[in-house]
Structure formats: C-alpha cells, structure tokens
Structure 1
Amino acid sequence: MKKKTIYHLSHIDLDGYSCQLVMKFTPYELFNYNANYGAEVKQKLELILEKINKSNTDSIILITDLNLTFDESRWLNNEVKKINENKKSVTLILLDHHGSGEDSANKYDWYYLDTSRCATKITYDYAREHFELDEPKWMNKFVNIVNAVDLWKQEEVENFEYGKVCMKLVNETRELNKVMFADIDNNYKISLLLEATKYIDEENAPIVLDEKIHLLKKEFFKEDKNDTLDNLATKFIVKLLGQARDEKTIYYKGYRGFLSYGVGNTSIIGNGFLLAYPEYDFIVDVSYRGTMSLRANDKVSVSQISKEWANGGGHPNAAGGRIIGFKEQYRYDKVKKQIEKIINDKEAVAGDLEYKKED
C-alpha cells in the first residue's frame, strides 16, 4: 500500500485504544481520535474531514471498535465521495465487531464487520495483511488478552484475568481531559498499555500489573522530583493549560480570563494556573453539563462575573453557576463559541445600559 496519512478514530475503552496501539507499529503518519457513541462520533469525524480538506496528502480514515448508524454511514460515505471528486484521495476503512452495524456493513464495502473477534484482533489481522505491521513479540499475546476480556471469554483464564487489569488501567485513567488534551490523553492511555505489555509473561502477571498501575501513572507525569500522583498531574495539567494560552484566552469587560472545559478540580488546578500565569485575572472551567466553576486571585470578582453570565454567585475569588441551554460538545472550539456568545451578549447589554444612562 502506498504510504498515506491515517486518521484513526476509535472507541474509548480497552478495545478501542488497543486498536490504536496496534497501528502504532505501522510505518504511516498517524493522527488518533477517540469517541464514545452518539453525537461525539460525528463531531470527531467532522474534525477529521476538516483536517483532510486542509491537507495535501492522500489519506485513510480508519474507524475501529465503533459501529456507525446507517445515517452516519451514508453521510460519511457522501462526504468522502465529495472530497475524492475534488481530486483528492481518501480511503474509508471501518473495522468493527458490533452486530448493530450490520445494515451499514451490507450496504458499504468499506464497512468490515466480524462479530467473532474483538476490534483489536480484527485490526491486528488487517494490519498484518495491509499495513506493513512491524510486529513486536508481545503483540499476538496482547491481542488475545484483549480479545478474551472484550468478548468475556472467562474460560481463557490467564488472558481474561490480565485483560481485566488492562481494562481497569484504561477505565480508571482519568487524570487528563480528552477534549482539552485529546492528543496527550490518547498518548497517556496508549503509553500505559504499552507499559502493560512488559509484564504479560511475569509470574502472577495480573497481580504484578495491578500493583504497578499507580507507579506507571506517576512515571508518565513526573518531570523531576517525585510527588503524589495528584500533585504531579496538577503540575502537568497547569503546564498544558499554559501552553494553550493563545487558543484558550477570553476577555470580559477588559479582564483577561482562561477558558477550560471539563478539567475539574478548579480549586487546585485553577489557583495553580493563576499563580503560574499572573497575567490572567480569572479562570473559568465549564463542565460537560454546563456548570461553571470560576477562580480569581484578588484581581476581579468572579462572583459578579458568575452572576452576570449565569445568575450564579459565590465569593470574589471562587464562584460558580450553570449556563442555561448549554449544549454539550466534544470539541473545544465549539465550547468556546458558546461562551464567547454569552460574553458578547452580556457586554452588548451592558453597553446599551451605559448608553441609556448617559442619555
């Protein structure tokens, strides 16, 4: 196969990330994306299509461990067809094992469905045949481990038990936000799974891995001296926020703020950010459900901002509220548009009031 850029969208569980771990050992330029079912799938596919339209290279859209609805399949097929008609080369490949995708699989030749294997095993077999897989010695056994736990083959005791710990490794790895830090979060989970492959052949391997999970996480975040996992992760996240200042800065009534989405732990992370970057007057974190948590450091009353934005309240340096009508998003740029609309609307009203007052 001619070398191409691969845009790989996969699920957010052990099977989904393991598909991306397999593809890591192919010689192509890879961009990984992850989604759960529902609106998130289409938003991530829209993002991939935007990237492809801006690119000059031939591309593959690879979807693993996600079944598309018939409407989603038709939409994606039509979008790719439009791109190809515009003298670009985009290939669609979907590798999945969920029977609910049968209608799409019967309609589209790019939709490969096999309910007898997990998506990781399907991807592994496909990659060996089509993607020039540079297979490390642990890969076949790891693939069988994922297959055993994903298809719940308890009779394969050794693989099943190790797979359960790997599943825990992915499910309980929540230190990073997959919307704000999509690439880093993906790298975090795949790096941990790669570390997990080192203990497959150990005696009492599931116990060995289970006891190492905390240390593996700390090692990912550690930059110099040792600390608690919470402190290491907080320092790491504050640094990531700082690196994203150009994109995530907002302004309200002349005050400079930082907008984060779904990061949480605002008391620690928010205050840590304000101490590290004193040029900011406030930070606001919006949850997936539209609740706001605001922090300041004696430069502006976030209680007043919260009241003006969402009828919220609190203290001058710590406040919160809920945005009525907030629509959950899976892309940061769409969240920022919603918040900036609120800001612009509130500033426009304030401007009108001031103008009338002067009259």
Structure 2
Amino acid sequence: MKRQTIHHLSHIDLDGYSCQFVMRYTPYKIFNYNANYGAEVRQKLELIIENIKKNKDSAIILITDLNLTNDESRWLNGEVHKINDTHKMDITLTLLDHHGSGESSANKYKWYYLDTERCATKITYDYAKENFSLDEPEWMEKFVNIVNAVDLWKQEEVENFELGKVCMRLITETRELNKVMFAEIDTNYKLSLLLEATKYINEENAHILLDEKIHSIKKDFFKVDKNDTLDNLATKYIVQLLGDARAEKTIYYKGYRGYLSYGVGNTSIIGNGFLLAYPEYDFIVDVSYRGAMSLRANNQVSVSQISKEWANGGGHPNAAGGRIVGFKEQYRYDKVKQQIEKVINDKEAVAGDLEYKKEDI
C-alpha cells in the first residue's frame, strides 16, 4: 500500500497494545489511539476523523481488537465516505478483530475482517506481512504466538501461556501514566515494556525472569539521572509532563491561574510537586472520571473557597475537594476542559470575590 499515514485504534489489553507493537515495524507514520468498549470507542473514532480532516491527507484508519456495533460501523463508514466525497481525499478503512460479537457488522462491510480462530495480534501480524511491508525482528513470530496463547487461553501451550500471563500483567498493572492526559506517552510506555519483555523470550524460565524484572523495567523508563523509588521517579516524570502541557491545560478563575488535570490522582504529591516546580500557578485541580475534584494551592489562593464556589465543596486553604454535579465522564481531555470551563464561567458570573486572598492565608 502506498499510503504513508495510519490512524490505529486498538483495545487497552495485551492483545490490543500488541497489535500496535507489531505495526511499529511497518514503514508508515502511525498515530496510535486506544479505547475500551462503550462511549470511549465513539469518542476516539470522532477524534480520528477530526485529525484526518485537520491533516487533509490520505490515510488508513486501522482498528484492531475492537468489535464495532452496527451503529458505530454505520456511522464510521458514512463519515469516511463523506470525507472522500467532500474533501476529495482517499481514506480507507480496515478492521481486524476476533470477537464473534462483531459478526453482524462484518457481514455488512468489506473493510471489517473477522476471524475468531486467531487473536487480534496474530491477525494483525499476518495481515501486516501481506499488506504493510512488515520488517519483523527475529523474535516477533514467537511473541505473537505468546499473545495468541494467553488471549485465547491455550493452557496446553505451557511456555507461551505462562510468559503471556506475565506480559498480560505487564499491561494491565501498568497505571503510572494516564491514558487520557498522556495518551501518546502512555501507549509508548506500554509498548516499550513489551519490547523489554521480548528480550526474555528465548531464556529458560522466561516467565519467571520477566516477572522478577518488571519493577526495574518500569523504573528504567522513568529514570532520567539518579535512581529513586518507582513512585518518586514516576512523580517527577509526570510533573514534567504536566509542565510541558501548560499551554493547553491552563485555566483561570477570577484572575488566578490554575492547572486542570484529569484522572491523574495522587494530588497531594503530584499536585504539590507541580506547584513547587511552577510557582507561577496559584492552584491545581485534578478532576476524576466521575467528577470528584481534588484541589491544591501553595499559599496563593484558598482552594477551599474555590471548591465551595464550584461544587459546594470545602477543605483547607491549600487542600480541598468537592464533586461537580452533572459531570459527564469523558475520554478526551478537550471535552473535560470544556465542561470545567463552563462551570468556571457560570460560577464566575455569580460568585463574589474569593474569601481568602494571599495576604489572608
């Protein structure tokens, strides 16, 4: 295929990320997206369509290890046709999956390839060899068989199955980064861990060796200079990521500069670390997926008062919390920010002056 750009949406388990791992060894420019089932799939597909329109370039939309509903398939098929007809672009669709629940869509659309006998990674691997000029390392076929063994629960393939279980945990228990806030970096983190795992494929008792190395492999990803605990290394790394994204994630309330994060958690450590690293910010607020707010300040403003005005919350001047009524869980940061800025604009219009200014604390 001659197209140079692939927008690749895949699942968030070992099989899903392994599809993207395989595609790394093709000569195309790839933008990775990941989603679980439900509303997240539609939001990520919408993001792909938006990015394609923005880039104004021909591309392949590749979906792996996710079955689309009839409505999702119909919508996506229509969007691609509209782009091609209206913008005179050449966008193609390819879906490679193994979940039988997608049979209805597979029967309607030629771009929907369904094979229930292989995991999605194996389907992607075989398809990539035939269609995407795969430059495969010597370990790749064995890695694919490892994923296939554990994803299809082939316990009789003992060595592959046992190593596959450890690789599965390597993905499912890797939560140091947030896949909404840091989508690209989080995916790269998981793929780098899988690459490290391949180094043990040909070792005796590979599953035991990898199991014992997981902690150090994770630390090596976050380590910049000196060694530290995984928590401290990850915190420092995340604070830097937050800082690098200041232009996009800054909010303002009554003249005070704040930082909006989503689903990062650990606000006492990460939030305070951010405020120390970037003292030009008066406060930071982390919103959970269900709308719970955790606010931190460093003697610049009372977040207790902000929390009260935003969500009838409360707490201390430098540490407070609350819950935003009617918050809708999102899988894209820009949609989260839209919701929070609406709250800010509504409250700013009616609330009085902040009760605690810097000189009052």
* Residue aligned with 2:171, SS: helix
2: CA distance, partners of 1:247 / 1:351: 27
Q: Please list the CA deviations of residues 74-94 of structure 1 after superposition, one character each: whole Å capped at 9, or x if unmatched.
A: 000000000010200100000
Percent identity between the aligned chains?
A: 83
Cα gap change, 1:227 to 1:165, in 2 (>3 Å):
same
Show the counterpart of 2:106: 105
Q: Gaps (5+ residues) in structure 2? A: 354-361
Following superposition of structure 1 onto structure 2, how do residues 1-359 of structure 1 map, counting pairs within 5 Å? 1-86=1-86, 87-350=88-351
Q: How much has 1:325 moved relative to structure 2?
A: 0.5
Instruction: Judge which range, 1-10 or 63-72, deviates more.
Output: 1-10
Aligned mates of 1:182, 1:260 — CA distance in 2:
13
CA contact 2:3–2:60 (8 Å) conserved in 1 = no
Partner amino acid, structure 2, of 1:50: E
* Aligned-partner Cα distance in 2 for 1:255–1:212: 45
Distance in 2 between residues matched to 1:341 and 1:160, nearest whole Å: 49
CA displacement 1:42-89 (0-9 Å, x = unmatched): 000000000100113210000000000001000000000000102001
Q: Give distance in 2, aligned partners of 1:172 and 1:298.
A: 36
Partner SS state of residue 184, structure 1: helix
Deviation at 1:292, TM superposition (A): 0.2
How many residue pairs are counted as aligned between the two chains?
352
AA at the equivalent of 1:34: N
Counterpart code for 1:209:
L
Gaps of 5+ in 1: 353-359
Q: What amino acid sits opposite 1:4 in the alignment? A: Q
Q: Which amino acid aligns with 2:30?
A: L
Task: Tell me which amino acid in the other structure corresponds to 1:121.
Answer: K
Q: State how far apart, in whole Å, the 2-side matches of 1:56 and 1:350 are.
A: 44
**What is the alpha-carbon distance in structure 2 between the residues aligned to residue 198 and residue 210 of structure 1?**
13
Shift of the alpha carbon at 1:235? 0.2
What is the distance in 1 between the residues matched to 2:112 and 2:292? 39
Q: Work out the CA distance in 2 between the residues paired with 1:14 and 1:322.
A: 33
Q: What SS does the aligned partner of 2:60 have?
A: strand
Contact kept in structure 2, 1:4 and 1:57, CA below 8 Å: no
Tell me how far apart the structure 2 counterparts of residues 3 and 67 of structure 1 sit (CA, whole Å). Answer: 24
CA distance, structure 1, for counterparts of residue 265 and residue 72 of structure 2 = 32
Distance in 2 separating the partners of 1:95 and 1:236: 35
Post-superposition offset of 1:147: 0.2
Write the letter of the residue equivalent to 1:22: V
2:292 and 2:323 in contact (8 A); partners too: yes
TM-score between both structures, scaled by the size of structure 1: 0.97
Deviation at 1:24, TM superposition (A): 0.1
1:357 aligns with none
Q: Return the alpha-carbon distance in structure 2 between the equivalents of residues 36 and 218 of structure 1.
A: 26
Q: Secondary structure at the match of 1:107?
A: coil
Amino acid at match of 1:293: S
Looking at structure 1, the residues matched to 342 and 81 of structure 2 have their Cα atoms a distance apart, in angstroms, of 34
Cα distance in 1, alignment partners of residues 193 and 248 from structure 2:
29
Secondary structure at the aligned position of 1:199 is classed as coil
Structure 1 residue 333 displacement after superposition: 0.3
| Shift, 1:225, TM fit | 0.3
TM-score of the aligned structures, taking structure 2 as reference length: 0.97
Aligned-partner residue type, residue 25 of structure 2:
F
For the Cα contact (< 8 Å) 1:285–1:292, is it kept in 2? yes
Paired with 2:105 and 2:347, the residues of 1 have a C-alpha distance of 46
Give 1:351 deviation, angstroms. 6.8
What CA deviation, in whole Å up to 9, does each residue of 1:106-126 have, x standing for no partner?
A: 000000000000000000000
Amino acid at match of 1:102: E
Q: Write the distance in 1 (CA, Å) between the matches of 2:252 and 2:4.
A: 41
Matching residue's letter, 1:63:
I
